Amino acid sequence: MLGVGMTPFGKLVGPTPIDLARVAGLAALDDAGIGFDKIDEAFVGYMQASPMTGVKAMKEFGLTGLPVTHVENASATGLVAFREAAWAVSSGRCDIAMALGFEKMNELAGSGGRGSGRDQIDSPILPAAYFALWAQRRMHERGTRPEHFAWISAKSWNHGRDNPYCQRRADHEITVEEILASPMVAEPLTAMMCCPISDGAACAVLARKDIARRVQPGRPLVSVLASTLQSETYSPGHTFVGPVVGPATMTRDTAKQAYAAAGIGPDEVSFALVHDAFANEELEYYELLGFCDEGEAEKLVEQRETALGGRIPFNTDGGLVARGHPGGPTGLAQIFEVATQLRGEAGTRQVEGARTGLAHLVGGGSVCTVNLLARE
Amino acid sequence: MAARALRRVPIEPGYFNVPDDPEKPPQLLGSRCSACSEVFFPRRMVCAKCLERDTEDVLLGPRGSLYTYTYCHVPMFGKLDAQVSGYAVGQVDLPEGPRVQSVLTGGPDDFRIGMELELDLEVLRRNAKDEEVVIYRFRPCAGERSQP
């Protein structure tokens, strides 16, 4: 990891997606301490902008002839762009690679509809409803209460209060009662348990280790231990119609692959950033990422182990639910936070003694990616 | 049986049938693998389980049991009645194997996990040929109660 940069997430009126990409990319280059001429290859992640936007965005930095590839994997787009950049470097194909994600979700809001063709069958079920189905089944099987989901959400909102890049920065300590009292979206998920509509951009620059050491001699070296990506495997009761992000075991399988590749276990992870587009997802990931046994996630909540200061802090930057979830850049905002924490630069939200960070996203379609980064 | 005034057509062909008899529930159009017998909804040409390239068409339902559900307090796309402000969504386990995600007919308090549901058709709109455009839904079977 040579450098990271991002724009604050939020409703950003004025700048175009390409403007946002330029701001985040230049910030990452400045953080890396190199010029754009040193970038050998770039991977650009976005979901909504028109074809060619990725290549056009890269031209903002200069015309150096570098190979540019557009990556799209729904919510997981940013981390998948990161994965491509990491593998481009570790395979020896290039020395320095850039992963850049940008999105203006607010330009899309209100343009929904039933669509045409197969979409007419799939589209009436919203992502909020899909994950609410997880929540309702969990409550049925495990006796989970809405208060568990509300605590997770309040925890993330409060983590985001000190993050200048966070979209929803509350001016007071958010309570479980406040989360539960916000408008119901899809039972049991309330508006404050659901991620907002976001705009923003984020960028990471990766380099060969010897280059990183040479360019940044005084800075703690953050390196990528593993970057895994899986799509669905068939299981009985598999669902094909409507929004599908799963089966949930996809996270377990992708995490196992990442831990094996990194040669570490979940007990060696200091903090985790996960796809909490809906707060109840995070509860499931406590188990699926191996931080507790099956059926024990509610205990982790009751003992407040996933808040800053707990055994395994989750979504230290506010998560998707507070920091925001623009789509393309979301995963790279996670990488921004992981790098910030591992360098010890997270200020009031610093995880004490952070050595290893995990970044996880799922994306519709569906896919899962798990990334492990460590401070050497 | 009195003839219907309007012909009913599916919103998209290939997912469910529309019986001529309006009293008869629709069925879903699925596939069964010729090699491993796994059943899928919707139809597919290649088996997702064993990768066999030979599948046969099968009719699924019309009944299944509710695996999970939620009630959405937001308007739905494409509704005929703009006054309807919310709707239920569920996953229904068919006896043939597939778990089907679908909109459910009923209010916030009409469902419980494990209850039996039956397929139904809902009229979404009238098209230019004056036909009723319909989509499948699941609704609680007669006699099913939301509370055990």
Closest chain A CA to residue B96: A237
SS (H, E, C) chain A: CCEEEECCCECCCCCCHHHHHHHHHHHHHHHHCCCHHHCCEEEEECCCCCCCHHHHHHHCCCCCCCCEEEECECECHHHHHHHHHHHHHHCCCCCEEEEEEEEEHHHCCCCCCCCCCCHHHHCCCCHHHHHHHHHHHHHHHHCCCHHHHHHHHHHHHHHHCCCCCCCCCCCCCCCHHHHHHCCEEECCEEHHHECCCCEEEEEEEEECHHHHHHHCCCCCCEEEEEEEEEECCCCCCCCCCCCCCCCCHHHHHHHHHHHHHHCCCHHHCCEEECCCCEHHHHHHHHHHCCCCCCCCHHHHHHCCCCCCCCCCCECCCCHHHHCCCCCCCHHHHHHHHHHHHHCCCCHHHCCCCCCEEEEEEEECCCEEEEEEEEEC
Residue B34 counted as domain residue:
yes
Residue B33 counted as domain residue:
yes
Domain that holds residue B15: 8-140
ipTM of the complex as predicted:
0.93
How much is the pLDDT for B124?
Answer: 87
Q: In what order do the strands lie in the sheet with B28-33?
A: B39-40, B28-33, B55-60
The CA-to-CA distance between both ends of chain A, in Å, stands at 11
Closest chain A CA to residue B74: A185
**Residues forming beta bridges with residue B133, ordered by sequence position:** B9, B125
Chain B contact set for A241 (CB, 8 A): 41-42, 100-102
Q: Is B141 on the interface with A (CB under 8 A)?
A: no
CB-based contacts of A288, cutoff 8 Å, min separation 6:
A248, A249, A251, A252, A255
Largest CA distance in chain A: 58
Residue A263: Cβ within 10 Å count:
10
The answer to whether B113 contacts A140, with C-beta atoms less than 8 Å apart, is: yes
Q: Which residue has the higher pLDDT, A138 or B78?
A: A138
Residue B40 counted as domain residue:
yes
Gap from B1 CA to chain A (nearest CA, Å): 31
The pair of structure tokens assigned to B22 is 């309006």
For A142, phi then psi, to 5°, come to -115, -5
Among B residues 33-52, those touching chain A with beta carbons less than 8 Å apart: 40-42, 48-49
Say if residues A5 and A27 touch (Cβ distance below 8 Å).
yes
Say if residues A150 and A180 touch (Cβ distance below 8 Å).
yes
| Tally of domains in chain B | 1
| Residue that has been written with the tokens 């899928």 in this structure | B40
The answer to whether A140 contacts B72, with C-beta atoms less than 8 Å apart, is: no
Q: Is A133 on the interface with B (CB under 8 A)?
A: yes
Residue B146 counted as domain residue:
no
- Average pLDDT for residues B14-33, to the nearest whole number? 96
Do the strands B132-140 and B8-10 form a parallel or antiparallel pair, or are they unpaired?
A: parallel
Residue B76 counted as domain residue:
yes
The answer to whether B78 contacts A140, with C-beta atoms less than 8 Å apart, is: no
pLDDT tens across the length of chain A (376 residues) = 999 999 999 999 999 999 999 999 999 999 999 999 999 999 999 998 899 999 999 999 999 999 999 999 999 999 999 999 999 999 999 999 999 999 999 887 554 556 778 888 877 788 899 999 999 999 999 999 999 999 999 999 999 999 999 999 999 999 999 999 999 999 999 999 999 999 999 999 999 999 999 999 989 999 999 999 999 999 988 999 888 888 888 999 999 999 999 999 999 999 999 999 999 999 999 999 999 999 999 999 999 999 999 999 999 999 999 999 999 999 999 999 999 999 999 999 999 999 999 999 999 999 999 999 999 9
Single out the residue of A152, A210, A188, A197 nearest to residue A2, CA to CA: A210
Say if residues B41 and B28 touch (Cβ distance below 8 Å).
yes
Chain A contact set for B77 (CB, 8 A): 112-114, 123-124
Gap from A270 CA to chain B (nearest CA, Å): 34
For A297, phi then psi, to 5°, come to -60, -35
The 8-class DSSP code of residue B117 comes to E
pLDDT for B147 beyond 70: no
Q: Which residue has the higher pLDDT, B66 or A114?
A: B66
Residue B145 counted as domain residue:
no
| pLDDT band of B97, cuts 50, 70, 90 | very high
In Å, how far are A112, A246, B89 from B104, measured between CA atoms? 21, 21, 5
**Residues forming beta bridges with residue B120, ordered by sequence position:** B137
Cis peptide before A198 (omega within 30 of 0): no
pLDDT for B4 beyond 60: no
Chain B contact set for A187 (CB, 8 A): 70-71, 73, 108
pLDDT for B81 beyond 80: no
Residue B148 counted as domain residue:
no
Largest CA distance in chain B: 48
The answer to whether A241 contacts B89, with C-beta atoms less than 8 Å apart, is: no
Q: Which residue has the higher pLDDT, B81 or B7?
A: B7
Q: Which amino acid is at A15?
A: P
How much is the pLDDT for A111?
Answer: 47
Identity of the residue in B69, B71, B78 whose CB atom sits nearest the CB atom of A114: B78
How much is the pLDDT for A116?
Answer: 77
The answer to whether A132 contacts B70, with C-beta atoms less than 8 Å apart, is: yes
pLDDT for B96 beyond 50: yes
Gap from A134 CA to chain B (nearest CA, Å): 8
In Å, how far are A270, A294, B19, B38, B129 from A243, measured between CA atoms? 32, 25, 28, 22, 31
Identity of the residue in A120, A123, A129 whose CB atom sits nearest the CB atom of B72: A129
Residue B85 counted as domain residue:
yes
Domains of chain A: 3-107+197-209 (3.40.47.10)
Gap from B60 CA to chain A (nearest CA, Å): 14
The answer to whether A187 contacts B76, with C-beta atoms less than 8 Å apart, is: no
The pair of structure tokens assigned to A117 is 């063709």
Closest chain B CA to residue A185: B73
Gap from A224 CA to chain B (nearest CA, Å): 33
